[in-house]
Structure 1
Amino acid sequence: MTAHRRRRAKAAAAATAAPSSTAPVAVAFTVLDIREAAPGKQAPTTWEKLTARLHKLSGSKKAETAATAEQVERVLAARASAPIQTLLDSLTTSLTGLSSAAAAERLRAHGANAVEEATPPTTLALAWGSIVQPFNALMLVVAVLTVSPPNSSYPTFALIMALLLTAIIARFWEELRSRSLAQAMRGAVSASAAVLRDGCETAVDIKAVALGDVVLLSAGSLIPGDVRLLEARNLFVSMSGMTGEAMPVERRAGVSSAKETALNHDNICLMSTSVVSGSGKGVVVATGAATYIASLARALPSGRTMTAFDFAVRRVVYLFIAFIVIMVPLVIVLSGTTTTDWSGAVTFGLAVAVGLTPQMLPMIVTANLSRSVRSMRAKKTAIRRMDAIQNLGAMDVLCTDKTGTLTVDEVTLLKALDLAGNESLDILKLAYANSRFQVGVPNLLDKGVLRVGAERGLEEAVAAEWVFLDEIPFDFERRMLSVVLRPTSDDKAHPTLVCKGALEELLMQCDHSLEGSEVYELDEARRAAIIARGRALNDEGLRVVGLATKMFTKLLLRMEREDEAGMLFRGFLAFLDPPKESAIPCIKTLYDRGVSIKVLTGDSLCVAKRICADMGIENAHCTTGVEMLSAEKDDLTALIERCTVFAKVTPQQKMAIVAALQRNDHIVGFLGDGTNDALALRKADVGISVDSGTDTAKEAADVVMLDKNLATVCDGVLIGRKTYGNTIKYIKFASSSSFGNTFSILAAAIWLPFVPLQAIQVLALNVLYNISQLAIPWDDMDPSFLEKPKRWSAKFLGLYMLIVGPISSIFDMTTFLIMWYYYECFNDNPDNVIAFQTAWFLESLMTQTFIVHLLRTEKIPFIQSRATLPLMASSFGTMAAGIAICYIPGLNSALSLTAIFPSYYAWLAGTVAAYCCAVQGIKWVYIKVFRSWL
């Protein structure tokens, strides 16, 4: 790891510190001439011109001017059919790759190797977006009307503008914080590529891969650009992200003939695809905006897919817009008819429109998500999509792999056995040779073999005894890996294939077995005995791998899977993968919180069941990949719903399991870190991987953890549910309050000979209320609320508004009656009007603000459940500020408020108390009928 970091640091330093060359380097690789050499000067061909254009634009920020997919395809077709040396010469590179200085120069010329993404908004753009809002326009119109003759009020205008500026600054600040957090999240997870720089293998960030770099590919690698293959060993690439085809496709070196599309060139690997198995080496022929995936991205509609959360928030916004469209004209007509002051009625109507608008909704939602993401970052977890935190809270099924999640991330080789069940040094040496010489990324089993072999001193002996010739790499269909070796002592000796793999799959390719020094044909009895011994080891909680060999009379030019047939079965490798003790309480916690767990593993069913039993995971219903293949569609869906352990499943089957659960109306999370998990990670509602996982897995995930720990998932579930709860709080508070105010406003417009609140008072009331709500993201949820998954839905919002909203109108009416009959404010005398308006201003502010403490919980407020200190301070501080405004000289006159009758505060306290009792009673009935509150 240290050496790896040093290499990356060296590459990064070279990329930033390399001196700018005065030579026309750019010309060398923007004019790509791969025609056959011919005497005389020739004009550039069409595709050469396109090449120059592509590389000129690879660092461009203007996607609309970049080449189309058709143009990119024509360039790739030419590169696929070019002779290797001609291609390398035209790219000014070689089989040993670029120098660090040349790579740095090309990165400066073409920009970072990244597909054009949405550019983060500039600070100026954020400021402009905070200003240009429909709600701000409404407030500005009201402000202009206040200084229009004949009733000009410059203090009112100044106050409205101050309130408007406050709202703009608050929105801008939250958007700025959100942008910074999004940028931090994008940089929190990176992928690397192995390239040849200065003749040495070096790991660099994919964004630092340059045109002409020679890249080394192995299982789990992301393709870091459009790559022309120079070498390939059984190289299979997943292109599901581009083609939708789940099965990987084979890629070969050599010259490709003409193809219909760029997807069909068998010697071209396209950027953003990934290596499933095998190995290879290739030269990067396109980077950044010049790649095929970039051309496809430019042709796609901008923006991401709408989630259920987005749709629900949009529905709420539409609901408020409908209120405004219906209510504002009614208020203007009724108020104008009653008061005959049409100018004042219009101003009041516009103010009502502002008052009915949930101005803080975008800010509250963004602040909730931002705070949750920051909480997860504190737990060393990167949220790559901000709204993924919502899906964590809604998740009711977690599909997880076994190794490293339920078990410790280190497999130990306990036994290397011959067919008689005896420890065998020969079996250990063959297994060590297989793991030592295999080309791909060593898995946990390989590491376990290598660790034990090193402890037994086999490293030097095996390296001296064998010479590597070829490999048939592991894939998830065969579940085997073979290396072909030759003894170093004899150049003409027959090559030997050494294969290790899943016991049953490997046994199917064997026709003989070695027992002692004798070779026997594998009849049914011997096969059954081998399977029985393997199952006995499985019952001990051990993972069993078979080992076989095959002798060739000659080395074939290219070893294929078919060459594994007819092997000699030699023995068993038994591995211990002990359960992770720290995961056991986490599993119980997830069950308690309503999240069921399904284990998806490529391991044997016996081992998976044993581990699940030790971990406390229900395993009465289990299945295997073979059983899934034979099940009918309807039966398969029922099988997936019922089973909790899925053994020996392929990557495609993992994705199918996730899809079936989603069809059954589950919100599915998937936890995995391998290349074989990438399809399921992308399909899941929330994909969870780890920083130590493969690049493919991390790229497909929504959430990336520093450590593979179920405790982090448990924390994420709670944070997601808390985020949902605090968001729905504000929406329900604002919607019920606005709905109740509509009735009060209509009644006042019909009844009173004057407007019940002036425009400036409505605006001040709205701002004060919204300020009191800013602390909602810092509030807690009741433990009972966090017990079950919370899926976003606006289904009962309308019903909630109809039941809770009108209660406030009842007490608004009592305030009207008190002021009309008790204090005799029944005419348009200015003192009466100001007193009336002050009374309703205070009553409306107190009820709307105080009632938050009743609506935020199913329990009795202050006794069984208390808000957090920030929300308590904001709500009571707002109420105190509202009262204080009435007594502050200058400010009260600007808002047309007055020091109300002292006796009114007794009425006000009684009104608030009665309102709280009424809401609490309605809440109990609502919960009893609908079994929920928030």
Structure 2
Amino acid sequence: MTQPAHPSEEQPGDGDLPDGAHPLGLLPGRRGGLTGAEVAERVSRGEVNDVPVRSSRSAKEIVRANVFTRFNAIIGVMFGIILIVGPIQDGLFGLVIVANTAIGIVQELRAKKTLDSLALIGEARPQVRRDGTVQQIAVAEIVLDDTVLLGIGDKVIVDGEVTEADGLEIDESLLTGEPDSVLKQPGDQVMSGSFVVAGVGAFTATRVGREAYAAQLAEEASRFTLVRSELRSGINSILRFITYLLIPTAIGLIISQLAVEGRDWREAVRRMVAGIVPMVPEGLVLLTSVAFAIGVIRLGRRQCLVQELPAIEGLARVDTVCLDKTGTLTEGGMDVVDLRVLSDGEPGAIGPDTIEHALGVMAGADARPNPSMRAVIAAYGDGRTDGGNGWRVIEAMPFSSARKWSGVQLLEPQGGEASWLLGAPDVLLPSGHPALAEVDELGAKGLRVLLLGRTPDPLDSPDPAAGLTPLALVVLRQRLRGDAAATLRYFEGQQVRAKVISGDAAVAVGAVAGHLGLPGADHPMDARTLPAEPDAFAEAAERTSVFGRVTPQQKRELVGALQSRGHTVAMTGDGVNDVLALKDADIGVAMGTGSDATKAVAQIVLLNDSFATLPSVVAEGRRVIGNIERVAGLFLVKTVYSVLLALLVIFTHSPYPFLPRHSTVLSTLTIGVPAFFLALAPNNERARPGFVKRVLRLAIPGGIIAGAGTFTAYALARANHATDLEADTSVATLTLFLIALWVLAIVARPYNWWRLLLIGTMGGAFALVLLIPPVSDFFQLRLVGTRDPWLGVAIALICGALLEIAWRFMKRRGYE
């Protein structure tokens, strides 16, 4: 049973409102809510909603996560050993690790700053009643016993007890799993994490901050995180395997080098360190964090708030985007363009003037009017004054997405009572009614049509629409977003299927989608005709592009059906009817002006409310994931050839071919610097499952070829002049650099001017290291004669040809 509504009372707005302004009125004894002194007293006692802001890790956590890693520990120990045995040139790798870690910390702190500032912009601002006024405050400022006001789309911020209700319906499905909304009356409990789907009300906060258990669950479930992504799981799996491989290899290398260089233990230790350090793909984890962080910063500049970091990865994998029509393809506002009276001219018919006045009275009875009702208010007023006609509202039932209509029970000027309903014609009228043909004709033009009807049945009857007399069609025009058509074309060009899922009439939704050029818009489906059998339902979801008359539960089921067919689904929306689908989608995208509930469950919030931002968001996800996969191959090739070289050295009882300084220059020029640029490059390829398998396709054969070729050149050089270890090391360094540069050239494809410049610059930098005496002396690189250097070049060319064959073979296998 709804509570009496009084359209003559003032409606609340933003900021402070005078006592008595709220449409529900004020309860006796609590007319002004808490006083300022009472609020201050509760704050001093700690009875305040001090739940941490949802956005990012703390600065302390960021530093700890970047510094205290297993590989930083390994590198740190190796660096400490070099500081003992010297010289400092062989400890350059330690300085590089320090610099890389610092870069990671700085970038993630920048991302944190961006996230925190955007989260503050997008944060809900609940209304509370204090000192006789209605005020908007921050979530963290709510105190125990505050009177919090609720309207359609508002999220319940803290736990409490309902004190006032006017058709207040709360959806608690995110907490309880129950799909049906719950009608709340004074004295009922409300839980944080639920949201309002209909009506207005107020409640007294009974548990705030960490006292509210449901709030804790919601906070933990939505906290910014780097985990639970296929990419990071794949990298962690690789790193675990490398750790297991590294320990026995390192032990064998230590023993062999001490045996080979027994008379010079310092040289043995240096070459042992040179063998262990390159096995560690330390930069891979760093670049992953940096790429994610820079992605967050770039999206932040476009007023896009990423509430969960794995959302960036999810965006790269999206192949289906489900769009809510209202607020996504169309702007929020609408205009009444026609009022078609259905019974005009018939004996005893209600005339246009009476209908227009009734519409104004209905609009005035709605405490939180939706866009349709705001258009009615703009056209016919809000009925706050009865104009001497004697209209009075007895009860009001706000619009609900589930029932598709709103209504008021009126005391009419003639003294009788009747209920007036305004809603979807195909819901309020029986199938086959003559008025539905006119509705379809208007809907086919992209217009939205509402039916106004009158019934003697009260609003709380089992079916108020049963005895409805249709009176008029209210015709509204929705405002299409100017950027919607271009955005849909972008998705089509990127092989991302777009599906429009709306609660409006199917023919009207199809007309709007058709105007925007969406493929399949000419065959819209009414969701009420969807088959119940799961396989048939999924087939319809797969086949159809436009759905109308979709209930909130059906939106959720459509998302699930598409996921069951192997699709990665993104869902956009702005209203409470989208919440369940947003929560279940792989990626939920909420509009910035949407309800608090939608923004709370979405992973991404478009704060500028622009649908045109979505292509940038998808492109950023693809750039991050595609580039991380690209550079991961570079790091793992190094790991593979380092392990192979160590094993060959152990089995042949040879000195390790490099000093730590050689490994540093090789890693910097063929992996570190190029990977940084490649990780930030544009990349529009949609991410696919199987990250680890694809990366290893290049890393294993590439690493084996590089390691075998380098050791061959090293062994031949040693056979020529076994006593000149520096010359042999120089040949090995030259050979490995050329092979690694070839690997870089493969990873950098397809070529453009800056990628070719990058490869050329790395080659030129190495040439300078060899040719400038002070630099070559610093790195102990000295090529002797022509035979061995040119032999190393020849071996590198052969290895390059083998790399090309292996890469092309693996690429074909990868696309079968």
Tell me which residue corresponds to 1:540: 445
Task: List per-residue Cα deviations over 1:272-317 (Å, max 9, x = no partner).
Answer: 2111112212211221112131465799999966232332222222
Counterpart of 1:794, as a letter, is: V
- 1:879 is aligned, of 766, 776, 789, to 766
Counterpart of 2:424, as a letter, is: A
Gap change, CA 1:458 and 1:229, over 3 Å in 2: closer
Mean Cα deviation higher: 171-180 or 296-305: 296-305
Counterpart of 2:426, as a letter, is: E
Using structure 2 for the length normalisation, give the TM-score. Answer: 0.87
Tell me which residue corresponds to 1:704: 605
Tell me which residue corresponds to 1:374: 297
Superposition deviation, residue 881 in structure 1 = 6.8
Q: Distance in 2 between matches of 1:155 and 1:587?
A: 58
Superposition deviation, residue 905 in structure 1 = 6.2
Q: Distance in 2 between matches of 1:578 and 1:601?
A: 16
- 1:388 is aligned, of 311, 318, 323, to 311
Secondary structure at the residue paired with 2:126?
A: strand
Q: Distance in 2 between matches of 1:143 and 1:371?
A: 29
Task: List per-residue Cα deviations over 1:883-924 (Å, max 9, x = no partner).
Answer: 47x8337x945x5x1443374766666565555454344433
Gap change, CA 1:96 and 1:745, over 3 Å in 2: same
Tell me which residue corresponds to 1:320: 242
Q: Distance in 2 between matches of 1:164 and 1:707?
A: 39
Q: Distance in 1 between matches of 2:699 and 2:197?
A: 53
Counterpart of 1:389, as a letter, is: I
Counterpart of 1:426, as a letter, is: T
Mean Cα deviation higher: 444-453 or 761-770: 761-770
Counterpart of 2:170, as a letter, is: V
- 1:482 is aligned, of 407, 418, 422, to 407
Whether the 8 Å CA contact 1:135–1:354 is kept in 2: the answer is no
- 1:132 is aligned, of 52, 68, 71, to 68
Superposition deviation, residue 395 in structure 1 = 0.3
Tell me which residue corresponds to 1:451: 378
Q: How does 1:536-575 map to 2 (within 5 A)?
A: 536-551=441-456, 559=460, 562-563=463-464, 565-575=466-476
Superposition deviation, residue 790 in structure 1 = 4.1
Tell me which residue corresponds to 1:500: 422
Whether the 8 Å CA contact 2:449–2:476 is kept in 1: the answer is yes
Counterpart of 2:743, as a letter, is: I
Whether the 8 Å CA contact 2:55–2:223 is kept in 1: the answer is no
Whether the 8 Å CA contact 1:195–1:215 is kept in 2: the answer is yes
Task: List per-residue Cα deviations over 1:458-496 (Å, max 9, x = no partner).
Answer: 775669753333212222221110122335x79xx3333
Tell me which residue corresponds to 2:360: 432
Counterpart of 1:226, as a letter, is: D
- 2:528 is aligned, of 626, 632, 639, to 626
Counterpart of 1:424, as a letter, is: P
Tell me which residue corresponds to 1:734: 635
Residue 360 of structure 2 is aligned to residue 360 of structure 1: no
Tell me which residue corresponds to 1:264: none
Task: List per-residue Cα deviations over 1:63-110 (Å, max 9, x = no partner).
Answer: xxxxxxxxxxxxxxxxxxxxx99xx9xxxx824212345435534542
Task: List per-residue Cα deviations over 1:497-523 (Å, max 9, x = no partner).
Answer: 221011122225xxxxxxxxxxxxxxx
Whether the 8 Å CA contact 2:729–2:781 is kept in 1: the answer is no
Counterpart of 1:428, as a letter, is: E
- 1:825 is aligned, of 702, 718, 721, to 721
Residue 192 of structure 2 is aligned to residue 271 of structure 1: yes
Superposition deviation, residue 876 in structure 1 = 5.1
Secondary structure at the residue paired with 1:233?
A: strand
Mean Cα deviation higher: 730-739 or 666-675: 730-739
Counterpart of 1:544, as a letter, is: V
Whether the 8 Å CA contact 1:367–1:777 is kept in 2: the answer is no
Residue 612 of structure 2 is aligned to residue 720 of structure 1: no
Q: How does 1:190-339 map to 2 (within 5 A)?
A: 190-254=123-187, 267-294=188-215, 296=217, 306-335=228-257
Secondary structure at the residue paired with 1:616?
A: coil
Counterpart of 2:748, as a letter, is: R
Tell me which residue corresponds to 2:394: 469
Whether the 8 Å CA contact 1:116–1:294 is kept in 2: the answer is no
Q: Distance in 2 between matches of 1:844 and 1:905?
A: 12
The percent identity for this pair of structures is: 20
Gap change, CA 1:108 and 1:909, over 3 Å in 2: farther
Task: List per-residue Cα deviations over 1:539-597 (Å, max 9, x = no partner).
Answer: 33322211112347xxx8x9466455423321211112254343112212201101001
Tell me which residue corresponds to 2:6: none
Q: Distance in 1 between matches of 2:680 and 2:696?
A: 24
Secondary structure at the residue paired with 1:483?
A: strand
Gap change, CA 1:164 and 1:396, over 3 Å in 2: closer
Q: Distance in 1 between matches of 2:377 and 2:143?
A: 35
- 2:699 is aligned, of 776, 801, 821, to 801
Using structure 1 for the length normalisation, give the TM-score. Answer: 0.77
Gap change, CA 1:453 and 1:186, over 3 Å in 2: same
Gap change, CA 1:469 and 1:353, over 3 Å in 2: farther
Tell me which residue corresponds to 1:518: none
Whether the 8 Å CA contact 2:163–2:202 is kept in 1: the answer is yes
Q: Distance in 1 between matches of 2:610 and 2:61?
A: 40
Task: List per-residue Cα deviations over 1:34-89 (Å, max 9, x = no partner).
Answer: xxxxxxxxxxxxxxxxxxxxxxxxxxxxxxxxxxxxxxxxxxxxxxxxxx99xx9x
Secondary structure at the residue paired with 2:193?
A: coil
Residue 310 of structure 2 is aligned to residue 401 of structure 1: no
Superposition deviation, residue 347 in structure 1 = 6.0
Mean Cα deviation higher: 494-503 or 650-659: 494-503
Question: What do you get for the CA RMSD once the two structures are aligned?
Answer: 3.6
Secondary structure at the residue paired with 2:528?
A: helix
Whether the 8 Å CA contact 2:649–2:656 is kept in 1: the answer is yes
Gap change, CA 1:892 and 1:137, over 3 Å in 2: farther
Gap change, CA 1:298 and 1:498, over 3 Å in 2: closer
Higher relative contact order (CA 8 A, sep 6+): 2
Q: Distance in 2 between matches of 1:231 and 1:407?
A: 34
Tell me, which stretches of 5 or more residues in structure 1 are unaligned? 11-83, 255-266, 509-523
Whether the 8 Å CA contact 2:428–2:465 is kept in 1: the answer is no
Gap change, CA 1:719 and 1:877, over 3 Å in 2: farther
Whether the 8 Å CA contact 1:97–1:197 is kept in 2: the answer is yes
Counterpart of 1:106, as a letter, is: R
Q: How does 1:729-878 map to 2 (within 5 A)?
A: 729-751=630-652, 753-759=654-660, 761-762=662-663, 765-766=666-667, 771-773=672-674, 775-776=676-677, 779-781=680-682, 786=684, 788=686, 790-791=688-689, 793-817=691-715, 819-821=717-719, 824-826=720-722, 829=723, 832-849=724-741, 851-857=743-749, 859=750, 861=751, 866-867=754-755, 875=762
Q: How does 1:518-537 map to 2 (within 5 A)?
A: 528-537=433-442
Gap change, CA 1:395 and 1:549, over 3 Å in 2: same
Q: Distance in 1 between matches of 2:524 and 2:247?
A: 57
The number of aligned residues is 789
Counterpart of 2:195, as a letter, is: S
Superposition deviation, residue 599 in structure 1 = 0.9
Whether the 8 Å CA contact 1:669–1:688 is kept in 2: the answer is yes
Counterpart of 2:485, as a letter, is: I
Counterpart of 2:246, as a letter, is: I
Q: Distance in 2 between matches of 1:445 and 1:119?
A: 34
Q: Distance in 1 between matches of 2:71 and 2:232?
A: 20
Counterpart of 1:446, as a letter, is: M
Task: List per-residue Cα deviations over 1:752-808 (Å, max 9, x = no partner).
Answer: 6322123454456445655314523564346xxx25454563233333323332222
Superposition deviation, residue 603 in structure 1 = 0.6
Whether the 8 Å CA contact 1:234–1:278 is kept in 2: the answer is yes
Secondary structure at the residue paired with 1:373?
A: helix
Gap change, CA 1:464 and 1:374, over 3 Å in 2: farther
Counterpart of 1:243, as a letter, is: T
Superposition deviation, residue 119 in structure 1 = 9.9
